[in-house]
Chains A and B, each alone.
Chain A
Amino acid sequence: MLTFWKVVRPTCWMLDRRVRAIDRRIVIGVVIVLGLGGQWLYGALRGRESLLAGDRGDAIAALTVVFGGLFILLLAFVNVSSVLYRLYLAPDLDLLMVAPIPRCVVFAVKLVQCSPGAVLPAIPIGIALAWFGLARDAGWAYYVLLALLLLAMVVFVTSTVMGAILLITRTIPAARIRTWIPVILALVPLVFVFGQQRFTAWFSGQADLHGTIARALVDEGDLAWIAGGGVALAAAVCLAAYHVFNRAFAEGWNRYREVAPVPARRRAAPAWTPPLPARLRPVMAKEWLEIRRDPHSLLNLLQPAILVVLFLAPLGGRDAVDLLRPIFFWFMLIFVPWFIGVAALGFAVTAIIREGPNLALLRVAPTSMSAVLRGKLYTTWGAMVIPWTVVLAATGVLLRFAWWQIALLLAAATVSLASMTPLTIGLGALRADFTARDVVKRIPTGARYVMIALNALYAGWLFATVAWLIAHGFRESDSFKVIEVFQGLPPVRALLSDAAWVPLLLAAGHVLVDVGLVRLWAAAVRRLERIEI
């Protein structure tokens, strides 16, 4: 235990230093907000226990337990790249493997480091079940056992993922793992999403089972057995993972780190090269090669197809499509700009932070940072706009949307990308710490939240603009009837009105965004030209 603490201690020091480096006023503000938020949440839940009464409450509690567990497992698998990194590439491994530390301590340290992916989803599940306890007047033992059960879930899930990765790394060639395992495991959510549909349909109808689970939760004796069983199961899986770690880790570690040379496929020089400006061509070619060889970037490009498959798969027959077509259109119009912004956040920001200390190479070369940023912008925008427009056009045709609906969807996607890509690249360039060793830490969390907020705001504005166009250009369409349903809401009423200030306001918003982007871009170029690295 003491050795474990000695190994973990530097992380606590670093965390402590980071917290101390934050402005005191911000820390106090966060504490106050969390305190007030917690109090508000408690009050809100305390006053609504009736929602969890009777069969409905049983069903909610049972669904929370079962799907909560699945959700934790799903997120742990989604987080597999991070686990892979922690297990095999983290900079502390060289020290841990060489130092005279028992293997069980190294395993325990890695278990803790790999667990955040499972801990974070456990928090809302814990809150939901605590609310259930409040509603059923559970005693203190309920909360203690609940905490124990959630802890067991976290350990079980983390150990399972670690064990799976340890086995895979021991058996599959390292080069192949580094290239494809993150992609394959990132596709696991799809399997979960489709796999759970039948189970959900079956489980939702099992009122008796819900009652049994709910009763077991509030009965302290039963819950003690469940928690005990959970702890025993977690301990068994953890021990099994430790056994695999003991047997397979050292070999896998060597293999994973010492990747054999990977010859890139040689291609004949293309007969035609796109007429790109000479200044941008080297950066664009480099960016494209990096995207093509980065599984995460490729996965980002696959997102539109994944999203549409997820969207279309549950539709069933043609009748349902005919009935729901106007709603689908609006649904897509709301989510496409927003989701595109999120995708740009992942994709375009990567183009900046991937550069890291190599920015020095570009700074020393006789090329302008404006050309570098523009090269990144055009490559990322081009790489994203093609799959999005193809997938959206195909979806529109498949759902038999009118031509103007497809055109509006494509325009919304293109405009959204044309705004969010420069925004994320510009903000990324303005805020990135190019010297940080860890790629993820090169962009401050605050900047990410600003990007998310601006994206949501812009997606809303773009949606309002398209809604206004439909309300004034396609009044005879089914889509218009859908907005009319919401005309009681003031913003919708304004969009439907013929007031001249509405289009002016919408246009002014877009002009403001464009002006903001131009200024942001100039500031980003200025920073890159002057940054000291």
Chain B
Amino acid sequence: MTMIELAGLGKNFGALWAVKDLDLAVNAGELFGFLGPNGAGKTTTIRLMVGLLRPTTGTAAIAGHDIQQESLAARRSLGYLAQTPLLYDRLTGREFLRFIGGLYDLPDGESDARARDLLALMELDAKADDLIESYSGGMRHKIGLCAALLHRPPVLILDEPLVGMDPASSRRIKDALLGLRDGGTTIFLSTHMLEIAEQLCDRVAILDHGQLIAVGTVPELRAALTSQAGASLESLFLQLTQTETQD
């Protein structure tokens, strides 16, 4: 079943097309990596997918619901972590998660129980009653991730979720993402960290200048682009994006 479907998706800002003619389908239970150099249009694509931007052309559908036409149903199905986590500094971590639970219609008791588990998973339980304004960058990402996971969405859209994480936290989150994927959650992961994409993702897509230049598993890309058997995703990425730039 296709959980994320982008069809002819495009967005222009004046003369600049940030994203153009994007066609992409991500299946249920897939961990999908979304890669691209700075300014390639990754964040714009994600904002189109979650409904924060209106597409100039095409459509984006989450769990079969068009994000513009059936916005509420689509939003119920997705969890989103922005590149800079969206948090309320004057709430504590626990209060923030209860607020998020309320927005997703979770009863307080259930929301609190899930929050407790997530805070423990992210090792934030000791800081759960501190105001978010006192959290470090990594902790802010973790609480943002807790918020995205709280309502157990079938589709997770994560924009650079591992930025600012220490190695231990990074490892724990990677394990958690794999666990979610195995449980059937569809994860759309935008990242700069190619080794993470290589380790975790079932398939990857590479975006450059707003256009999709490659989609497939890492071995498929390797087979298509080079005769080197052990070529890394980094060398494939550089080969693809530099060819694009030269073109």
Q: Which residues of A contact B (CB under 8 A)?
A: 259-264, 266, 278, 281-283, 285-286, 289-290, 293-294, 357-358, 360-368, 530, 532-533
Task: Check if A364 sits within 8 Å of B90, measured CB to CB.
Answer: no
Question: Given the complex, which residues of B lie within 8 Å of A366, measured CB to CB?
Answer: 72-73, 75-76, 103-105
In the bound complex, do residue B134 and residue A285 qualify as a contact, i.e. CB atoms below 8 Å apart?
no
Q: Is B127 in the interface zone, CB < 8 Å from A?
A: yes
Find chain B residues with CB under 8 A from A262 CB. Answer: 130-131, 133-134
Inter-subunit contact B102/A282 (CB<8 Å): yes
Q: Are A293 and B72 closer than 8 Å at their CB atoms?
A: no
Least CB distance, B90 to chain A, in whole angstroms: 4
CA distance A474 to B13 in the complex (A): 63
Pair B78/A289 contact, Cβ less than 8 Å: no
Indicate if B177 sits at the interface (CB-CB under 8 A).
Answer: no
B176 within 8 A of A: no
B86 and A293 within 8 A (CB)? no
Q: Is the CB of A289 within 8 A of B95?
A: yes
Task: Taking A357-B86, A364-B75, A367-B103 as given, write out 5 further A-B residue pairs in contact, using a Cβ cutoff of 8 Å, ordered by the A residue number.
Answer: A262-B130, A281-B102, A286-B99, A357-B84, A358-B88
Return A41 CB to nearest CB of chain B, in Å. Answer: 44
Contact A261 B80 (CB under 8 A): no
Which of A260, A282, A294, A361 contacts B86 (CB under 8 A)? A361
- Cβ distance B108 to chain A, nearest Cβ, rounded Å: 8
Q: Which of A357, A361, A532 counts the most B-chain CB atoms under 10 A from its CB?
A: A361
Question: Please, which residues of chain B bring their CB within 8 A of the CB of A363?
Answer: 51-52
Complex-state Cα separation, A283 to B95, whole angstroms: 12
Taking CB atoms, residues of chain B closer than 8 Å to A259 are: 133-134
A530 near B92 (CB under 8 angstroms)? no
User: A369 to chain B: closest CB distance in Å?
Assistant: 11
Tell me if B182 counts as interface (CB < 8 A to partner A). no
Q: Which of A259, A286, A290, A367 is packed against the most chain B CB atoms within 10 Å?
A: A286
In whole angstroms, how far apart are the Cα atoms of A533 and B48 in the complex? 10
By beta carbon, the residue of chain B nearest A529 is: B71
Given contacts A263-B130, A293-B131, contact A365 B92 (CB under 8 A): no
CB distance from A270 to the nearest CB of B (A): 11
Give B247 Cβ to nearest chain A Cβ, in Å: 30
Query: A174 vs B162: C-alpha distance in the bound complex, in angstroms?
Result: 30
CA distance A365 to B130 in the complex (A): 24
Could you tell me the distance between the alpha carbons of A393 and B78 in the complex, rounded to whole angstroms?
50
> Which listed residue (A264, A278, A282) contacts B129, Cβ 8 A?
A264
Check if B134 sits within 8 Å of A260, measured CB to CB: yes
Q: Is residue B214 within 8 Å, beta carbon to beta carbon, of the partner chain? A: no
Q: Determine the distance from Cα of A282 to Cα of B53 in the docked complex, in whole angstroms.
A: 25
Give B121-146 interface residues, CB cut-off 8 Å to A. Answer: 127, 129-131, 133-134
A290–B87 CA distance with the chains assembled, in angstroms: 12
Contacts of A286 in B (CB 8 A): 88, 91, 95, 99
In-complex Cβ contact of A360 among B52, B99, B134 (8 A) = B52
Within 8 A of A (CB), among B54-74: 54, 72-73
Q: Which residues of A contact B131 (CB under 8 A)?
A: 261-264, 293
On chain A, the residues within 8 Å of B134 by CB distance are 259-262
Contact A261 B51 (CB under 8 A): no
Q: Provided the pairs A294-B90, A364-B50 are in contact, do residues A261 and B103 lie with their beta carbons within 8 angstroms?
A: no
**Which B residues from 81 to 121 make CB contacts under 8 A with A?**
82, 84, 86-88, 90-92, 95, 98-105
Chain A residues closer than 8 Å to B51, beta-carbon distance:
363-364
Residue of B53, B76, B105 with most chain A CB atoms under a 10 A cut-off: B105
- Find residues 3-27 in chain B having any chain A CB closer than 8 Å to their own CB: none
Nearest A residue (CB) for B53: A532
**B-chain residues with CB within 8 Å of residue A362 when the two chains form the complex:** 103
Instruction: For A365, give its contact among B82, B95, B100, B133 (CB under 8 Å).
Output: B100
Select B95's contact among A263, A264, A533, beta carbons within 8 Å.
A264
Is B130 a contact partner of A261 (Cβ separation < 8 A)?
yes
B90 touches which of A278, A283, A290, A361 (Cβ 8 Å): A290
Q: Which residues of A contact B88 (CB under 8 A)?
A: 286, 290, 358
Please indicate the chain A residues that have their CB under 8 angstroms from the CB of B80 in the complex: 364
Chain A residues closer than 8 Å to B104, beta-carbon distance: 365-366
A252 to chain B, nearest CB (A): 18
A289 and B75 in contact, given A259-B134, A264-B131 (Cβ under 8 angstroms): no
Please determine whether B103 and A282 come into contact, CB atoms closer than 8 angstroms: yes
| Residue numbers in B under 8 Å from A293 (CB-CB) | 90, 131
Report the separation of the CA atoms of residues A363 and B47 in the bound assembly, to the nearest whole angstrom.
11
Q: Tell me, in angstroms, the Cα distance from A532 to B130 when the chains sit together.
A: 32
Query: Most chain-A CB neighbours within 10 Å: which of B80, B103, B129, B134?
Result: B103
CA distance A516 to B105 in the complex (A): 32
A140 CB, nearest partner CB in chain B, Å: 53
Q: How far is the CA of A530 from the CA of B88 in the complex (A)?
A: 22
Ranked 6 nearest A-B pairs via Cβ: A282-B102, A261-B134, A361-B86, A365-B103, A261-B130, A366-B75
- Which B residues touch A365, using CB under 8 A? 75, 100, 103-104
Q: Which residues of B contact A281 (CB under 8 A)?
A: 102
| B53 contacts A261, C-beta separation under 8 Å | no
The residue from B54, B73, B92, B99 contacting A282, defined by CB atoms under 8 A apart? B99
Contact B86 A278 (CB under 8 A): no
Instruction: Determine whether the beta carbon of B52 is less than 8 Å from that of A533.
Output: yes
A365 to B98, CA, bound (A): 14
Q: Is the CB of B102 within 8 A of A263?
A: no
Looking across the interface, which residue of chain A has its beta carbon closest to that of B86? A361
Cα-based distance from A386 to B208 in the complex (angstroms): 56
Q: Which of B52, B72, B78, B95 has the most CB of A within 10 A?
A: B52
